[in-house]
Amino acid sequence: MIHSTTASPYLDTEQAAAYLHLAPRTLPNMRALHRGPRHSKAGARVLYHVEDIELWIVRVDHIKSEVA
């Protein structure tokens, strides 16, 4: 078996929630409302690409600054 030393750019729901400092159920709740960062499904697994999370953070910050 070949082991990669490169970290995957994909995070599962628990990892993505920790990355965003959110409660574990927040991302599934956001998905149900069609909100939150873009995600992909790999079989039953939901995955978030770190770049999509970062883009979502920028977009949310931009919207908040327009409202303020």
Give the pLDDT confidence score for residue 67 in this predicted structure: 77
Where do the domains of the chain lie?
10-67
Question: Which pLDDT score, from 0 to 100, does residue 2 have?
Answer: 54
Question: What pLDDT is stored for residue 4 in this prediction?
Answer: 55
- Cα distance between residue 62 and residue 56, in whole Å: 10
pLDDT digits (tens, 9 = 90+) for 3-56: 555 689 999 999 999 999 999 999 999 999 999 999 999 999 999 999 999 999
- 57: how many CB neighbours lie within 10 A of its CB? 13
Count Cα neighbours of 26 within 13 Å in the Cβ-side half-sphere.
Answer: 13
CA 33 to CA 13: how far, in whole Å?
16
What integer pLDDT is reported at residue 5 of this predicted model?
Answer: 58
pLDDT, position 13: 97
The span from the CA of 62 to the CA of 25, in Å, is 25
pTM (predicted TM-score):
0.83
